[in-house]
Amino acid sequence: EVQLVQSGAEVKKPGESLKISCKGSGYSFTSYWIGWVRQMPGKGLEWMGIIYPGDSDTRYSPSFQGQVTISADKSISTAYLQWSSLKASDTAMYYCAKYGGGGRYYFDYWGQGTLVTVSS
Amino acid sequence: DIVMTQSPDSLAVSLGERATINCKSSQSVLYSSNNKNYLAWYQQKPGQPPKLLIYWASTRESGVPDRFSGSGSGTDFTLTISSLQAEDVAVYYCQQYYSTRSLTFGGGTKVEIK
């Protein structure tokens, strides 16, 4: 069974750093792109970027380029999303999700989400 | 970026009636070499992550009830729930995956029971 299990909710202050995780299981982690999606409170879905864990090829949405860093550790089947200096506007639910593979760039499996709250 | 525009923002439908959601892309998401529309639909229930319903504009994901159907081509697409059930209350999103540099979602359509 394919599973993506994300790290728990975080409460941080503006200016702090943060790294959240997404552990994949039940499939070949290195063979499928994993993406990150932001959902701000009461709002829609925003595609942030993707990583191919096999070779760490990474692509970012122009809206998020330079604002976050996506990485992966294939030895432990885990993808990461990190911030060096959080802002209140980063408060959101963040989902990781796996692409279908073979040119199927839709998300067929999703993590449960990690709620990030940034408040002074 | 390809902009995805959904309509309506919300709709209320009686149980057993048809619900229709529209999605329009700012440019065609039909890939001419394979004649496939790079368009997916997701369902998000309150407090849950999104769930894939439809891909290639009209192919149902395994396990999705056949009351859900997708249609359209090029720039205009429709998600239809043929007979609304209580468990279908959710927000529905379309997503284009034609432009792999920047995939984009529609703004979402909230479906409620009338």
Mean pLDDT of chain A: 96
Residues of chain A with Cβ-Cβ distance to B44 below 8 Å are 45
pLDDT for the residue A14: 98
Asked if A44 lies within 8 A of B103 by C-beta distance, the reply is no
Per the CB < 8 A criterion, the answer to whether B59 and B71 are in contact is: no
First to last CA, chain A: 40
Banded pLDDT at A80 (limits 50, 70, 90): very high
DSSP letter for each residue of B85-103? -GGG-EEEEEEE-S-TTS-
Query: What is the DSSP-derived secondary structure letter of residue B38?
Result: -
pLDDT for the residue B100: 76
pLDDT for the residue A101: 82
CA atoms within 13 A on the CB side of B76: 1
Q: Which of A47, A100, A111 sits opposite B104 (nearest CB)?
A: A47
CA distance A97 to chain B (A): 10
Per the CB < 8 A criterion, the answer to whether B38 and B55 are in contact is: no
pLDDT in tens, B44-73: 999 999 999 999 999 999 999 999 999 999
The Cα–Cα gap between A82 and A67 comes to 9
Asked if A105 lies within 8 A of B100 by C-beta distance, the reply is yes
Per the CB < 8 A criterion, the answer to whether B99 and B2 are in contact is: yes
pLDDT for the residue A92: 98
Residues of chain A with Cβ-Cβ distance to B40 below 8 Å are 106-107
Residue B74 bridge partners (DSSP): none
Residues in chain B predicted with pLDDT less than 50, given as ranges, are none
pLDDT for the residue B17: 97
pLDDT for the residue B104: 93
Q: Is A111 in CB contact (< 8 Å) with chain B?
A: yes
pLDDT for the residue B26: 97
Query: Interface of chain B against chain A, CB under 8 Å?
Result: 1, 38, 40, 42, 44, 49-52, 55, 61, 91, 93, 95, 97, 100-108
Asked if B55 lies within 8 A of A45 by C-beta distance, the reply is no
- Residue A116 is which amino acid? V
pLDDT in tens, A19-59: 999 999 999 999 999 999 999 999 999 999 999 999 999 99
Mean per-residue pLDDT, A75-92: 98
Asked if B52 lies within 8 A of A106 by C-beta distance, the reply is yes
The Cα–Cα gap between A6 and B91 comes to 22
Residue B52 bridge partners (DSSP): B42
Banded pLDDT at A103 (limits 50, 70, 90): confident
- Residue A65 is which amino acid? Q
Residues of chain A with Cβ-Cβ distance to B42 below 8 Å are 45, 107
Structure tokens at B75: 């720039």
Q: Which of A44, A107, A112 sits opposite B52 (nearest CB)?
A: A107
